[in-house]
Structure 1
Amino acid sequence: MNRLRQVRKQKRLTIKEVADEIGFSETRLHQYETEKREPRRETWLKLADYYDVPVAYLMGLPDGLVQHINKTQSMTFEELHEAVIQWANDRNMIKKDKLTALSQLAKVTEEHGKLSAGINKNDEEKIKDSLGDSLVTLIILAQDLDFDLLDCLNEAYNVIKDRKGKVIDGSYIKESDLHE
């Protein structure tokens, strides 16, 4: 659960005051506070900056993780992986059933569509955001299917690390496919 409402009330601000100050509608801010809508990365940054609190704290990450993030200011891929899983578990997003996995797969596809749009428009910010969001959705999907995405990545790398092939028109073609 995020801490948006809690922090706003601690600072004795109304939704209208915050919305006016940062340029959001009151409805949008209310949706963020009630978790009916998930803020994008740049929105989390803007809100954290406005409230003068760490993003991890505002997102509602566990206190131990918040302290760790504040201490290191940077996380390893493995730590981020675990933080995403914890975040999804805290929101009851990982249920390990087919229906939830299919719903999460739709999110993966949606993020890949946004990535494609970012690449087509040469929008560096959208590309970066979509790549990050794609990773988040894949981590959650893997957990829902009872896989560890890092294990999947390791297995995939072990398959490709000695692969031979050739780049044709910007795409890598493995050697076995060149002879067909």
Structure 2
Amino acid sequence: MSLIANIKLLCKLKGTSILNTEKTLGFGRGTMYKWDTNSPSIDKIQKVSEHFKVSVDRILYGFDVNEHQETKNKTTPNIAQTTHDIRMWATERGLIDADPNKQMLKLGEEFGELCQGMAKAKPDQVKDSIGDIYVVLTILALQLGLNVEDCVQSAYDEIKDRKGRMINGVFVKKEDLS
């Protein structure tokens, strides 16, 4: 994420805005928005860091470098390993030869559970449903001769440079704004 995107996220988490943060820190209006094209001084970054009570790394990179390194060094499986395990699990149970249309129905079921969890504010159900959806999509991709990682990369490549704006809490791409 960009520097300004990291700061926007911190503002959202704190329930404030960039404008209010600039005012609180004594920065001129619009100062922070210029930081994506003009690098700010370390003093200003430090001031923002102290204001949000986070590390300079979190401001600059969106995560704490030391925390990220510790996570990488843990023995817990990463998403690539987990995806491999899902494929093996599906293969052992004969799911790779099953009808992908049935897997699509399973995806609908899991999506319904996600919607229910969101509507009833059940975070454990939401977490479980998101995981279930990933498992179902991994198996569906396998049944269709696709690689779920390639599908995700393709989707990201499609959106990564997309322009648009937020309207009523929904990002609307530029092409759909006219």
Q: SS of the counterpart of 2:171?
A: strand
Alignment of 1:117-136 (within 5 A): 117-136=116-135
**CA–CA distance in 2 between the matches of 1:73 and 1:105?**
33
In structure 1, the residue matched to 2:147 is 148
Q: 1:83 aligns with which of 85, 98, 121?
A: 85
**CA–CA distance in 2 between the matches of 1:176 and 1:159?**
13
Q: SS of the counterpart of 1:94?
A: helix
Give TM-score scaled by structure 1 length.
0.57
Q: SS of the counterpart of 1:147?
A: coil
The Cα offsets for residues 64-113 of structure 1, whole Å up to 9 and x where unpaired, read as xxxxxxxx641111111111000000111111x6xx10000011110000
**1:141 Cα shift?**
0.3
Alignment of 1:1-180 (within 5 A): 73-95=75-97, 100-179=99-178
Q: SS of the counterpart of 1:106?
A: helix
CA RMSD of aligned residues (A): 1.0
**CA–CA distance in 2 between the matches of 1:147 and 1:73?**
28
**1:170 Cα shift?**
1.3
Q: SS of the counterpart of 2:96?
A: coil
Q: Give the ranges of 4+ consecutive aligned residues of structure 1 lying more than 4 Å apart after TM superposition.
A: none
Structure 2: gaps of 5 or more residues: 1-73
Q: SS of the counterpart of 1:172?
A: strand
Residue identity opposite 1:93 in structure 2: L
Residue identity opposite 1:122 in structure 2: A
**CA–CA distance in 2 between the matches of 1:178 and 1:75?**
42
Name the larger-Rg structure. Answer: 2
